Structure formats: structure tokens, C-alpha cells
Structure 1
Amino acid sequence: MKTLTATALIATLLGASSALALQPIPGSITYNGHQSRLEKAPAGSNFFHTFFGQNGEQVRETYQVNADHSVSLVSRAVANDK
């Protein structure tokens, strides 16, 4: 019974992590399924991308370079100066 409960918990957590993943927005490097690759950047390194969103707010996203040199969106901050 404990094994079944542990398996169910792990499956739930794995499913939740992908469901709660940050989705790209217009202006994001990975928006619309675009896959960027950084050949010279070391895996695990982070970089920032700053742009203005659709409502004029400043958006700063943090990306991480994966082992295959693709990038993943890991965080987003929106500055609302209004």
C-alpha cells in the first residue's frame, strides 16, 4: 500500500511540474514553439532577456541553458510602473 501511495504521489508531482511550467508569451525567446540553441554557452548557465510586453510593461525573463544547448524559460518578472 505504501508503494502504491508513493507512486501516486510521484506521478502527481511530475504531472504538476509540467502543468505549472512557465509558458512563453509574445516577445519571449521560446514563444510559438521556437527552440533557440546556444552552442558556446555552458550547460547550466543562465541569461536574461528583457523586452516590453503587449501592454507596454517591461518584462525580464531568465533562461537556463540545457545540456543539449537548448534553452528553457525558468522565471519571469514584470515591472508595472503604472
Structure 2
Amino acid sequence: MVSVTLSLPEQVHMKMKLFDEINWSGFIRRCILQKTHQLEMKEQLLAGVQKDEEIGRWFSQISTPMRKERVSALKKKGLI
């Protein structure tokens, strides 16, 4: 396991000493793990959104000519 050193204001350090029943190292470790997990999930969601945008562009490229053909056909029939 890697060690990390933090610099804290003296006031914060004094308050931490008041609550010595808390394992501050474990608390900070859990906070870091939670934050890294959140960031990983965010990256996965963004990758999914980008994939959805690519699919949307592809679908738009395919469907636009088909819609134009359909509109032309309906105009010829006098329906629009």
C-alpha cells in the first residue's frame, strides 16, 4: 500500500484530536476510494453518452433521406 501525507491547518488538526475515536486514516482512505469510484462511473457514463451520440448521428444520416422520400411520395399523392 502507498502512503500519502497531508498538510492540514493547525485548527483542523486540533479538532481531529478532539475526536480521537475516529480512524482518520481509514476515513480518508474511504473518501478517496468513493471519489475515485464516482469518477470512474462518470467516465463510463460519458463514454456511453458519446456512443449514443454517434448512434444518433448515424441514424440521422440514414433516416433523413428516407424521410425526404416519404414526404415526396405523400406530396405526389396529395396528402400533404
Shorter-chain TM-score category?
A: 0.3 to 0.5
Task: Give the helix-richer structure, 1 or 2.
Answer: 2
Greater relative contact order, per chain length (Cα 8 Å cut-off, separation 6+): 1
TM-score of the aligned structures, taking structure 1 as reference length: 0.32
Higher alpha-carbon Rg: 2
Looking at secondary structure, tell me which structure has more strand per residue. 1
